[in-house]
DNA sequence: CAGCGACATGACAACGTCGACATATTTTTC
DNA sequence: GAAAAATATGTCGACGTTGTCATGTCGCTG
């Protein structure tokens, strides 16, 4: 492999001068710089990060540790956000996923340390509280899409499920809906509770009573092997004589089944029944016809902001409040119209 | 940071002996080994990969270079397959995605080289031919889900779209369907052509004529911003008086729209119209009701096999034929039944 | 018991890079 | 025009690890 020394020889300078050129240090004549750069190009020299790291003990590398993220379609955008930030800022990304195993997680931390990683981004597939082994490890860490159960001070970034659900609910109310159904996400998920809470609070503030709402559980059980009641719940909800004019779905994926249930009953969307989702999982929300109105989980931004925050942290700047929350933007598409006869 | 030297001091041996223990080399007394291991535990020593690499010039790291994979839900399983293999075999994964940009791709290759990566896995989101810059780079590379346009000898691994579509077609024929519709994938995608070809050939072999088939284009245009005709195509196909009894969908995602089109026309699935997808994109195929019968793209295996093959390659073993193909398994669910009146 | 081989350990250099410091050259300052 | 400052370049060692070779200690063979 061509090293800094071969370049130095080729350019007729000392290796230190080459080092200066590479790192853009001052005190190099323009002429020397050009000669060195030419030698670099001619020889195809590429700096050896390992050697650099060994000297400077800054790896310029972030580690991403995930549970199932790279496994699942949902939150891949978090990773994309992180990578984009890393590219733009000359950082390298080391990625590992645990598949949920504690032993594996311990291994990953070890692996990260053996690579002398500067910091860690701890990412989970769905929003939840976790208890990372970070406690006994002193690598700076930012939690993305989750927060620590044990250490409240660990910086975290999460989507604002509450605000998203609030916006969606208001949107339906503004459109004139007064009888609204809600098909709940798996209550295991942290987002589920927040979204439901926002829905209940917002409708109540608006003056709706419990009789105006129809709430059903759509899924339950351990993530990955949950029981799915969505279709049945939606069908039942829509067969009531006093059926809701709009249904809020726990997420976009569940909305598929609500669509199918509605259509199977001969209802038209949105004329007879309005539907909104959550997440803006575009493979679904844009594949549905009419396309689904939903609230976008800010996954990409979660990743981007997380990486940026980790960097800030590494530079010694402490942030005021540890737990951040990013808004979910309402995406208006075609699945909502005013109720038929209001 | 605690180094091998501190361990050596603590254990009262030379650093070379510690190195022997770490690497499981012979010629160390059991007693010495234990003393060293204790020191390692006590001090929490973790080997420095960078230093190791600089000596041995084997990084034990694979690079994954992707176009949009980490961006899109579809093929994330490829990455998971690679990672699982890497975990099991003590390799580290460096991941970067180009977002389709050539300049970015060049940067990534450079970055990989600067980390002295052992080999590269070149992964694309959808099956296609590419022209990687690998030509001027001498890092061993395995192509996953794609193949090189220019270099036929570059090892590649792809799903067997042809066989998958053939199996699906036969499945429908075996169920008794004799009038079959096909809604085509974006013809830009390499899989599109193969699937259609398999469909046509298989139906022809079975004795169906052109009049028994209804073929329509579902999508077209550049990936990411294509025109979507699926709903219209399906609706039109199903409104013919001599409508097909089964529809093959270019992929699972498109099947959503076919479901909606069918249901909107008052048709029941599968009693009035059978539907099959392709890909087994489970977020969709299992969310649809009835669940979708489809052919599973072997993404996970693509990744696993790819990593394994790269490793074999690195050990100097050349494989006989460069281009491999992995079967797509038929996944039978509830969206197909025999035609109503045959 | 000299000689040999197997085993156990250590000393030291080298990998590629950069920081600290030294030296040489030019420019500025008074 | 001599001293001081700024600029340009080089020497050398250190980072943490492992490969090479040397050394030392056994036990065994003939």
Same domain? A229 vs A260: yes
* Domain annotation covers residue B193: yes
Average pLDDT of A50-69? 88
Q: Is the Cβ atom of A14 within 7 Å of strand C at any atom?
A: no
Q: How far apart are the first and last CA of chain B?
A: 76
Higher pLDDT, A320 or A165: A165
CA atoms within 13 A on the CB side of B196: 18
Q: Do B284 and A287 touch (CB under 8 A)?
A: yes
Higher pLDDT, B147 or A217: A217
Q: What CATH code is carried by the domain that includes residue B43?
A: 1.10.260.40
- The pLDDT-based confidence of B131 (bands split at 50, 70, 90) is low
Q: What is the structure's pLDDT at A101?
A: 84
- The pLDDT-based confidence of B101 (bands split at 50, 70, 90) is confident
Q: Tokens standing for A32? A: 């020397």
Decide if pLDDT at A138 tops 90.
no
Distinct helix (H) and strand (E) counts, chain A? 12, 14
Q: What is the structure's pLDDT at A204?
A: 96
Average pLDDT of B30-38? 93
Same domain? B180 vs B272: yes
Q: What is the pLDDT of residues B110-123, one digit of tens each?
A: 999 999 999 999 99
Higher pLDDT, A129 or A158: A158
Q: What is the structure's pLDDT at A62?
A: 95
Q: What is the pLDDT of residues A1-15, one digit of tens each?
A: 789 999 999 999 999
Whether residue A173 contacts residue A300, with contact meaning beta carbons closer than 8 Å, is answered with: no
Of A93, A254, A256, the CB nearest to B256: A256
DSSP B184-213: EPPTTSHHHHHHHHHHHHHHHHTT--GGGE
Average pLDDT of A178-205? 94
Q: What is the structure's pLDDT at B342?
A: 47
Cα A50 to Cα B2, B12, B76, B113: the distances in Å are 18, 29, 29, 11
Q: Do A80 and B95 touch (CB under 8 A)?
A: no
Same domain? A167 vs A291: yes
Q: Which range in B11-25, B58-72, B126-140 is most confidently predicted, on average pLDDT?
A: B11-25
- The pLDDT-based confidence of B215 (bands split at 50, 70, 90) is very high
Q: Tokens standing for B49? A: 């990969």
Cis peptide before A270 (omega within 30 of 0): yes
Q: Is the Cβ atom of B7 within 7 Å of strand C at any atom?
A: no
Q: What is the structure's pLDDT at B133?
A: 57
Same domain? A219 vs A199: yes
Decide if pLDDT at B40 tops 80.
yes
Decide if pLDDT at B303 tops 70.
yes
Separation of alpha carbons B149 and B156, rounded Å: 11
Same domain? A177 vs A292: yes
Separation of alpha carbons B296 and B167, rounded Å: 11
Q: Do B261 and A289 touch (CB under 8 A)?
A: yes
Task: Tell me which chain B residues have a C-beta less than 8 angstroms from the C-beta of A80.
Answer: 70-71, 97
- The pLDDT-based confidence of A124 (bands split at 50, 70, 90) is confident
* Domain annotation covers residue B150: yes
* Domain annotation covers residue B217: yes
φ, ψ at B216 (rounded to 5°)? -135, 150
Same domain? B292 vs B245: yes
Same domain? B186 vs B304: no
Same domain? B224 vs B287: yes
Q: Do A79 and B70 touch (CB under 8 A)?
A: yes
- The pLDDT-based confidence of B99 (bands split at 50, 70, 90) is confident
Separation of alpha carbons A234 and A227, rounded Å: 15
* Domain annotation covers residue A166: yes
Q: What is the structure's pLDDT at A133?
A: 58
Indicate the range of A102-106, B251-255, B314-318 predicted with least confidence: B314-318
- The pLDDT-based confidence of A131 (bands split at 50, 70, 90) is low
* Domain annotation covers residue B334: no
Residue B27: left if φ>0, alpha if ψ -120 to 50, beta else—which one?
left
φ, ψ at A146 (rounded to 5°)? -160, 170
Average pLDDT of A205-234? 93
* Domain annotation covers residue B55: no
The residue in chain A having the minimum alpha-carbon distance to the alpha carbon of residue B63 is: A94
Same domain? B238 vs B118: no
CB-CB neighbours of B114 under 10 Å: 15
Q: What is the pLDDT of residues A248-294, one digit of tens each?
A: 999 999 999 999 999 999 999 999 999 999 999 988 999 999 999 99
Indicate the range of A108-117, B135-144, B213-222, B231-240 predicted with least confidence: B135-144
Q: Containing domain of residue B121, as a range?
A: 61-160+300-327
* Domain annotation covers residue A308: yes
Q: What is the structure's pLDDT at A67?
A: 83
Same domain? B180 vs B155: no
Of A87, A113, A259, the CB nearest to B260: A259
Distance from CA of B31 to the nearest CA of A (A): 26
φ, ψ at A208 (rounded to 5°)? -75, 145
Q: What is the structure's pLDDT at B340?
A: 81
Indicate the range of B108-112, B157-161, B294-298 predicted with least confidence: B108-112
Separation of alpha carbons A246 and A213, rounded Å: 10
Q: Tokens standing for B16? A: 């070379």
Q: What is the structure's pLDDT at B223?
A: 76
Decide if pLDDT at B167 tops 80.
yes
Average pLDDT of B295-321? 91
Decide if pLDDT at A71 tops 70.
no
Q: Do A71 and B76 touch (CB under 8 A)?
A: yes
Same domain? A202 vs A224: yes
Whether residue A279 contacts residue A74, with contact meaning beta carbons closer than 8 Å, is answered with: yes
Counted domains in chain A: 3
- The pLDDT-based confidence of B304 (bands split at 50, 70, 90) is very high
3-state DSSP helix/strand/coil % of chain A, to nearest 5: 45, 20, 35
* Domain annotation covers residue A130: yes
Chain B interface test: which of A66, A109, A260 (most B C-beta within 10 Å): A260
Separation of alpha carbons B115 and A127, rounded Å: 34
- The pLDDT-based confidence of B137 (bands split at 50, 70, 90) is low
Q: What CATH code is carried by the domain that includes residue A195?
A: 3.40.50.2300
Same domain? B258 vs B190: yes
Task: Tell me which chain A residues have a C-beta less than 8 angstroms from the C-beta of B111.
Answer: 92
Of B59, B256, B266, the CB nearest to A288: B256
């Amino acid at each position: 492999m061509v090293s800094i020394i071969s370049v130095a020889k080729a350019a007729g300078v000392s290796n230190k001068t080459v080092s200066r050129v590479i790192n853009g240090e001052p005190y190099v004549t323009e002429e020397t710089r050009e000669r060195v750069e030419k030698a670099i190009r001619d020889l195809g020299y590429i700096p050896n990060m390992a050697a650099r790291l060994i000297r400077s003990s800054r790896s310029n590398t972030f580690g991403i540790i995930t549970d199932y993220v790279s496994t699942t379609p949902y939150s891949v955008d978090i990773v994309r956000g992180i990578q984009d930030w890393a590219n733009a800022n000359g950082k390298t990304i080391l990625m590992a996923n645990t598949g949920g195993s504690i032993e594996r997680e311990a291994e990953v931390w070890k692996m990260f340390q053996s690579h002398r990683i500067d910091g860690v981004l701890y990412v989970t597939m769905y929003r939840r509280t976790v208890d990372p082994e970070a406690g006994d490890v002193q690598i700076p860490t930012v939690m993305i899409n989750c927060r620590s159960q044990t250490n409240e001070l660990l910086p975290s970034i999460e989507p604002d499920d509450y605000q998203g659900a609030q916006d969606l609910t208001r949107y339906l109310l503004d459109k004139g809906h007064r009888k609204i159904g809600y098909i709940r996400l798996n209550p295991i998920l942290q987002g589920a509770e927040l979204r439901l809470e926002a829905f209940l609070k917002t409708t109540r503030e608006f003056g709706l009573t419990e009789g105006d709402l129809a709430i059903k559980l759509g899924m339950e059980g351990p993530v990955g092997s949950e029981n799915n009641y969505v279709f049945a719940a939606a069908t039942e909800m829509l067969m009531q004589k006093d059926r809701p004019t709009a249904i809020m779905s726990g997420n976009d994926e569940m909305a598929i089944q609500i669509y199918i249930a509605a259509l199977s009953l001969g209802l038209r969307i949105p004329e007879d029944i309005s539907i909104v989702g959550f997440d803006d999982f575009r493979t679904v929300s844009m594949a549905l016809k009419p396309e689904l109105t939903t609230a976008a989980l800010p996954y990409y931004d979660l990743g981007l902001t997380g990486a940026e925050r980790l960097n800030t942290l590494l530079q010694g700047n402490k942030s005021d409040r540890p737990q951040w929350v990013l808004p979910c933007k309402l995406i208006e598409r075609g699945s909502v119209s005013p109720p038929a006869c209001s």
